[in-house]
């Protein structure tokens, strides 16, 4: 192999705002001609295809510059440019000629019949492109969408959509930055589509700030991470971001997941591919209760946002997962909880989003199941969340954190055996718009730091944090106290009210002052009323 002289021909990538504006404009091209769930697949698929093609072209230009001065034979140069390993080594997908964006863009109105071959629509060309892409990159099998040539897809608008996407660029600042750009755009689109689809959209999308709380509390470092209802894979992506922010190798986490919905399962596969993550999401999509795709896997971390209060679910009374009691047929909340507990390895930890009712319900034997779980000392922390975090549902939500190890050691220096931390975060957050709230970075840090201080984790020690109960916000409670409260796990029951701020004014003097001010307001009100009556009398 001759020595290489690295040369690059930089091309400015689109800014995040430019990308979002361009790509959402592309989505608008299809809106009205198909429902949100369908155009989601079309637009996200084309965004992904544009990204892999841009990345491939940028890498190909680099290789051409590197080899041109050493390989004068055009055939040798072409062979080197088509060496798949030269792309894979840089986390770039190899894209065959007729799957490349420039080819598709040049035939945005379709390919006319030629040389005895029938004409092809742009939808057929895109379906062929994805098939070729998977053939060259087996890791994408099951991840990419299809059906671009269906009757329900407007081929004219599809061609116009390609024209719009021509202005989006994912290259110019390195492969890692291109991947980051696509990852951000993809997550932005997931959120926008979740809003467009309303309640159904919530099935594949968990608000990022909620996921960040789960991840920042659990601090996943290495081992197996699992989500039994993984949606579009947001939990895994956020865990990877946590590792990156702490300068850890993202391959330190082995990803396992399962998803019931076929479209969402494919979306998750693509999301992982976009972020350069290898994950085992099962050979196909499927019901976690009916067929566990990872029956023998024991996880070090579980992050999950199961669908709330499912009434129609696959229930078998003799299922070995129901160690703490058989969940009722009319609600799967405690089936999810027990499935997750069954997946925890020795020392494993979990963070789960649940409907608020799960903290205190006694219907269908759920109260007895909760009591058994509490007595087994598996609950480490309960967090009451603010309202309106989930655009797709008005049901108030909470976070359950489980651990199989509260003793001092790997997970913290403080022995918390027989205790549960309660955090009431209902007053945190800010309104994004009239319908939805979000948690700020400061809110997320406040919740996570409180938990880490309580456990005495390395991160808490590094920040010099120590734990103290804070009335109205957090309290460490013994299992005996929880038992005396009927095993209810609602934080508001335990944290009490926030202490009123002492302004230094004696209470009797404050009462006397406030009464004077009140009477003065009464006198002013009476004066104004008399004046108004006088003026009205003159008018009459």
**Sequential DSSP letters for 416-459:** -TTEEEEEE-TT--EESSSS-EE--HHHHHHHHHHHHHHHT-HH
**Calpha distance 488→360 (Å, rounded):** 5
Alpha-carbon 74 to chain mean position:
47
Residues 284 and 390 in one domain: yes
Instruction: Judge whether 140 and 133 are in contact, CB under 8 Å.
Output: yes
Residue 526 lies in a domain: no
Look up the CATH number of the domain holding residue 186. Answer: 1.20.1260.30
156-169 b/e with 16+ CB inside 10 Å = b?
Answer: ebbbbbbebbeebb
In a domain, 269, yes or no: yes
Name the one residue in this structure whose structure tokens are 């718009």. 433
C-beta separation of 185 from 47 below 8 A: yes
CB 446 within 8 A of CB 387: no
Which of residues 495, 518, 535 is at a domain's end?
Answer: 495
CATH of the domain at 283: 3.40.50.150
Q: For 416-434, give one letter per residue: b (16+ CB within 10 A) or e.
A: beebbbbbbbbebbeeeee
Domain-embedded: residue 5: no
> Within this chain, do residues 209 and 342 fall inside the same structural domain, yes or no?
yes
- Same domain? For 277 and 335 the reply is yes
531 in a structural domain: no
Give strand pairing partners of 355.
397
51 with 140, same domain? Answer: yes
Kindly state whether residues 154 and 300 are assigned to the same domain: no
- Out of 159, 190, 221, pick the residue that ends a domain: 190
- pLDDT tens digits, 196-254: 654 443 444 678 899 999 999 999 999 999 999 998 888 998 898 899 888 888 889 99
509 is a domain residue: no
Cβ distance 473 to 423 under 8 Å? Answer: yes
| Distance of alpha carbon 287 from alpha carbon 264, whole angstroms | 13
Domain boundary among the residues 135, 161, 190 is at 190
Measured in degrees and rounded to the nearest 5, phi and psi for residue 204 equal -115, 0
Q: Tell me which residues of the chain have a pLDDT lower than 70.
A: 1-17, 19-38, 170-205, 391-393, 498-504, 539-540
Whole-number pLDDT of residue 66: 86
SS3 227: strand
Question: Are 36 and 60 in a shared domain?
Answer: yes
Evaluate whether residue 500 is within a structural domain: no
227 lies in a domain?
A: yes
How many folded domains does the chain comprise?
2
Same domain, 163 and 58: yes
Do 49 and 107 have their domain in common? yes
Q: Where do we find the tokens 């990159």?
A: 137
Beta strands in 250-396 (DSSP E): 253-257, 279-280, 299-304, 344-355, 379-384
Strand locations in 356-431 (E): 379-384, 397-403, 419-424, 430-431
Domain check: are 364 and 427 in the same one?
Answer: yes
Q: Answer yes or no: do 156 and 255 share one domain.
A: no
In this predicted model, what pLDDT tens digit does every residue of 418-438 receive, in sequence order? 999 999 999 999 998 887 889
Residue 367 Rama label (left phi>0; alpha psi -120 to 50; beta): alpha
The reply to whether 217 and 305 lie within a common domain is: yes
Provide the pairing of β-strand 379-384 with 397-403. Answer: antiparallel
Q: How far is residue 209 from each of residues 56, 66, 447, measured CA to CA in Å?
A: 33, 44, 12
Residue 532 maps to a domain: no
C-alpha R_g of the chain = 29
- pLDDT at residue 257 in the model: 97
Q: Indicate the pairing of strand 279-280 with strand 253-257.
A: parallel
Q: How many residues does the chain have?
A: 540
Please name the helix (run of DSSP H) or strand (run of DSSP E) that holds residue 225, with its range, or none.
strand 223-227
Q: Would strands 437-438 and 379-384 be described as parallel, antiparallel, or unpaired? A: unpaired
Integer Cα distance of 216 and 490 in angstroms: 22
Dist. CA 488–CA 474, nearest whole Å: 16
Do β-strands 253-257 and 223-227 pair in parallel, antiparallel, or remain unpaired?
parallel
Residue range of the domain that includes 146: 16-190
- Looking at the structure, tell me whether residues 148 and 284 fall in a common domain: no
């Amino acid at each position: 192999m001759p020595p290489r002289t690295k040369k690059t021909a930089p091309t400015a990538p689109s800014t995040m705002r430019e990308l979002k504006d361009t790509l959402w404009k592309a989505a608008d091209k299809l809106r009205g001609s198909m429902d949100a769930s369908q155009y989601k697949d079309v637009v996200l698929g084309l965004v992904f295809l544009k990204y892999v093609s841009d990345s491939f072209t940028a890498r190909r230009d680099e290789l051409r510059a590197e080899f041109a001065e050493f390989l004068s034979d055009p055939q040798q140069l072409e062979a080197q440019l088509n060496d798949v390993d030269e792309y894979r080594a840089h986390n770039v997908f190899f894209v065959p000629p007729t799957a490349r964006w420039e080819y598709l863009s040049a035939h945005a109105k379709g390919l006319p019949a030629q040389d005895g071959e029938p004409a092809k629509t742009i939808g057929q060309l895109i379906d062929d492109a994805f098939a070729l892409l998977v053939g060259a990159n087996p890791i994408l099998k099951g991840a990419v969408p299809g059906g671009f040539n269906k009757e329900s897809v407007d081929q004219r608008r599809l061609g116009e959509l390609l024209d719009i996407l021509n202005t989006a660029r994912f290259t110019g600042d390195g492969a890692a930055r291109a991947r980051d750009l696509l990852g951000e755009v993809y997550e932005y689109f997931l959120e926008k589509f979740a809003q467009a689809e309303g309640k159904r959209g919530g099935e594949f999308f968990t608000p990022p700030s909620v996921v960040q709380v789960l991840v920042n509390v659990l601090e996943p470092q290495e081992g197996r991470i699992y989500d039994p209802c993984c949606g579009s894979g947001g939990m895994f992506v956020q865990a990877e971001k946590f590792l990156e922010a702490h300068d850890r190798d993202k391959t330190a986490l082995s990803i396992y997941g399962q998803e019931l919905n076929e479209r969402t399962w494919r979306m998750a596969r693509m999301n992982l591919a976009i972020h350069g993550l290898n994950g085992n999401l099962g050979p196909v999509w499927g019901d976690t209760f009916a067929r566990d795709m990872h029956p023998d896997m024991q996880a070090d971390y579980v992050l999950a946002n199961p669908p709330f209060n499912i009434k129609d679910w696959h229930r078998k009374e003799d299922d070995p997962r129901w160690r703490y009691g058989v969940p009722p047929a009319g609600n799967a909340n405690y089936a999810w909880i027990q499935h997750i507990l069954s997946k925890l390895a020795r020392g494993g930890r979990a963070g789960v989003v649940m409907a608020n009712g799960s903290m205190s319900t006694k219907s269908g034997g759920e109260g007895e199941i909760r009591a058994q779980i509490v007595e087994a000392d598996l609950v480490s922390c309960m967090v009451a969340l603010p309202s309106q975090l989930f655009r797709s549902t008005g049901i108030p939500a909470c976070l359950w954190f489980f651990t199989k190890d509260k003793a001092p050691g790997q997970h913290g220096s403080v022995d918390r055996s027989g205790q549960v931390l309660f955090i009431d975060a209902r007053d945190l957050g800010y309104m994004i718009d009239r319908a939805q709230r979000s948690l700020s970075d400061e809110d997320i840090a406040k919740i996570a730091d409180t938990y880490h201080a309580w456990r005495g984790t390395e991160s808490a020690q590094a920040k010099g944090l120590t734990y103290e109960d804070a009335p109205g916000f957090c309290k460490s409670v013994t299992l005996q106290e929880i038992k005396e409260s009927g095993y209810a796990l609602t934080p508001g029951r335990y944290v009490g009210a926030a202490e009123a701020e002492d302004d230094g004014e004696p209470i009797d003097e404050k009462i006397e002052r406030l009464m004077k001010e009140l009477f003065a307001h009464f006198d002013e009100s009476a004066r104004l009323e008399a004046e108004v009556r006088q003026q009205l009398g003159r008018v009459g």
